[in-house]
Structure 1
Amino acid sequence: MTAYPRHAERLSVLGTRGRLRELAPAAGLDFASNDYLGLATSPALRDAVTDAIRRGVPVGATGSRLLRGNHPEHVALETMAAQFFGSEAALYMGGGFQANQAIFSALPMADDLVLHDALIHASAHEGFRLGAARTESFRHNDVADAERVLRGWRNSGGRGRVWIALETIYSMQGDFAPLADFAALAARHDAVLVLDEAHATGVYGPLGRGFAAEITDCPVIALHTCGKALAASGALVCADRAVIDTLVNRARPFIFATAPSPLMAVAARAALEHLQRGPDCIATAARLRAHAHACARRIGYDLPPGQILPILIRSDHAALAAARKLQRQDFDVRAIRPPTVPKGTARLRVSITGNLGPDDISALFTAIGDLKQKDFQ
């Protein structure tokens, strides 16, 4: 007899629908993580952290950064990140979820509008909920619809600033935002572009800087997570100094959170230094992506050209069963189901990581092709 019968009932319903989530260990070939460059186990990061421990850098920050938790390694990372990503300043926080909460709860003001893509990450929605500004969505990647909503707000009396929130690469779709068009829209309306670069950082742009640094037509706030291609943890908000100082003074997810481990700041800085030296890992990632897309086309999938390949199955149960069958063949592929994606769009999320070789990728898509013939309903 459980002390929480209503919770047990809800969990049972999730199981019936094929939506019950469980923690599963990493096993098999890595088609599930965001380690796009294979840096998580690299000598570059391992040696940097080992050296930092020898130098006496502590494991834990032991307090918020406004108390005693502000370590020189945090500051060193921020200094380098601002230079690397081409911003005036940077702020290191505990993670991308926390950073999105901070941005959208602390920066837009009560008379402003946050205009966001319909498929933007859940963490941004948490920031919207905590913030004072009005929020409106537009159809995914639809610049014309965004302008329609913006003009409607202006025509109804909206007089504050507009903040246009996008992901440069969408984490479940794998597609890219049309940034040039959104930058032009922002310039026409004196708006700020808030760009979540989580899945572009380290992989796209010169030396893996992402896309935000190339935009000069309008103000830009860029979020670069450190736990994906950079293979550490935490997140960097890169923006004008006034934005960073506002977050330090007003963002509750920053003010009231224990600072990230200084060792993770060391690891993130080592990853940026590794990229700055122009290593082969970015070119290798591009070759693996191209090979994966060629394999996907051979079994009937023409997908957006990024490192995230969504294999749409639609049925929650079928997606879960397909993932389990692939896992039994030593392919670590996970099923993505509602509410992470819209109802009726359950999928396998295939991530092309730096821990794979071309033969591994070919074998996976051969296995998916076999499943497609009989199991994808």
Structure 2
Amino acid sequence: MSNHPLSNKLKQKLAERAAQGNLRQLKITDGLVDFCSNDYLGLARSQALRAILQDETQQYSHMPLGATGSRLLSGNHRLFEELEETIAHYHHGEAALLFNSGYTANVGLLSALPQRGDTVFYDEASHASMKDGLRLSFAKSYSFGHNNVADLRQKLKRATGQVYVVVEAVYSMNGDTAPLQDLAQLCQEQNAALIVDEAHAAGLYGPNGEGLTVSLGLEDQVFAQVITYGKAMGSHGAAVVGPKVLRDFLINYSRAFIYTTALPTHALLALKCAYRLLPSLQLERRQVKTMVGQLYTQLNNVPGIRCAPAESVILSVFVEEGGTAKLKELAAQVQQQGFDVRPVLSPTVPQGQERLRVIVHAFNTAEEIEGLVQAIAKGT
């Protein structure tokens, strides 16, 4: 069907993106030093997690590998219920409901919860999954300036019905944290429901990695937390944590939950074991902060480079000259030096804000940090 008229239209769209320098392609980069993945604490490669997961798997060998259906049909079992109780307790909520991914959790929550006549305000830097969920909602939705509480306060004047404010705890591209305390106070003043995506904060913030909401003591002021497991937890899936009535509501109204096969047994066991390990990873959380400080300081001493923000595992490296072409060339050169970093281009980030996205992990060493800095300096 390569000569079908539709195929030709698709080729034209791809050619347009290629001409803009923004064509996405899948890439395999085996053997490089990881400064790219979201495996912040190294759990995805943890031998300790692998060992307890193998033991746990033996204990559940009587269960089918796959869920065999949706949770409302054949897919529900005691392991789901027990794990959701663990998740709710860990993140200081009344109840939790598991979804198959962070994307699905955001789409499932935000397409179902806000009703016709309600109003949702979301940070303009919010993840695509949040925006996609809101597109499926019957509520009105408006963006506000990134981390701009004053802008949000002004725009709240146009609200009708139940009001929702949707933010990320740590922003997936910028790496900065939301001003959750100010947002929570404003939401209380306006009787708005605050929803926080903890995808890039869970595991890293809080006494035991509970997330930014819990670390700031705001769990009673945040209506719902979205906890994603493909980042610091080293696994897969996501959970919405909040009041029990929210869990019951989503079971009845969230199409992303209702009409999908549930997570397989091995994914649930991986989460169960990751939660068992998470409180013991204090050293890893401290190590990440140390590595971040070193990389941030060294990169900002490289001529022609600007690195931001400080104190984040997600660092954006901007080149002062050359634009997208220079950025892609720099990424290729750094990869040739043995370091896995990736350029982030429009439309993932706004045009003119393209950058290298550099991720720091607990398993990265001081020598690897220095090597990455040298590779970037050489490429500029």
Q: TM-score range by the shorter chain?
A: over 0.9
The 1:310–1:278 alpha-carbon spacing in structure 2 relative to 1, beyond 3 Å, is closer
Does the 8 Å CA contact 2:114/2:120 hold for their aligned counterparts? yes
Match of 2:120 in 1: 114
Task: Indicate which of 267, 278, 299 corresponds to 1:264.
Answer: 267
Q: Deviations over 1:252-303 (max 9, x none)?
A: 0010011112211111121111112354221222222222222223225352
Letter of the 1:58 counterpart: P
Task: Indicate which of 231, 252, 256 corresponds to 1:253.
Answer: 256
2:309 corresponds to 1:301: no
Match of 1:229 in 2: 232
Does the 8 Å CA contact 2:334/2:341 hold for their aligned counterparts? yes
Match of 1:25 in 2: 28
CA deviation after TM superposition for structure 1 residue 50, in Å: 1.7
Q: 279-288 vs 92-101, which deviates more?
A: 279-288
Question: Which contiguous aligned blocks of 4+ residues in structure 1 show a shift greater than 4 angstroms?
Answer: none
1:54-203 alignment runs, 5 A limit: 54-55=58-59, 56=61, 57-151=63-157, 153-154=158-159, 158=160, 160-203=161-204
In structure 1, runs of 5+ residues without a counterpart are 373-377
Q: How many Å separate the matches in 2 of 1:96 and 1:179?
A: 20
Q: Secondary structure at the match of 1:5?
A: helix
Match of 2:47 in 1: 43
Q: How many Å separate the matches in 1 of 2:190 and 2:361?
A: 39
1:274-289 alignment runs, 5 A limit: 274-289=277-292
Match of 1:334 in 2: 342
Q: How many Å separate the matches in 2 of 1:77 and 1:292?
A: 37
CA deviation after TM superposition for structure 1 residue 236, in Å: 1.2
Q: Secondary structure at the match of 2:45?
A: coil
Letter of the 1:48 counterpart: I
Q: How many Å separate the matches in 2 of 1:293 and 1:75?
A: 42
Match of 2:246 in 1: 243
Letter of the 2:182 counterpart: D
Provide TM-score, normalisation by structure 1: 0.93
Question: Looking at both structures, which has the greater relative contact order when contacts are Cα pairs under 8 Å and sequence separation is at least 6?
Answer: 1
2:3 corresponds to 1:2: yes
Task: Indicate which of 364, 367, 374 corresponds to 1:359.
Answer: 367
Q: How many Å separate the matches in 2 of 1:63 and 1:303?
A: 44
The 1:2–1:46 alpha-carbon spacing in structure 2 relative to 1, beyond 3 Å, is farther
Q: 336-345 vs 3-12, which deviates more?
A: 3-12
Letter of the 2:55 counterpart: D
CA deviation after TM superposition for structure 1 residue 217, in Å: 6.0
Letter of the 1:37 counterpart: L
The 1:139–1:279 alpha-carbon spacing in structure 2 relative to 1, beyond 3 Å, is closer
Q: Deviations over 1:57-97 (max 9, x none)?
A: 43321211111111332222211111111000011110000
Q: How many Å separate the matches in 2 of 1:342 and 1:65?
A: 38
In structure 2, runs of 5+ residues without a counterpart are none
Match of 1:312 in 2: 318
Does the 8 Å CA contact 1:17/1:317 hold for their aligned counterparts? no
Q: How many Å separate the matches in 2 of 1:124 and 1:86?
A: 23
Q: How many Å separate the matches in 2 of 1:89 and 1:222?
A: 11
Aligned length: 367
Q: 171-180 vs 302-311, which deviates more?
A: 302-311
Q: Secondary structure at the match of 2:241?
A: strand
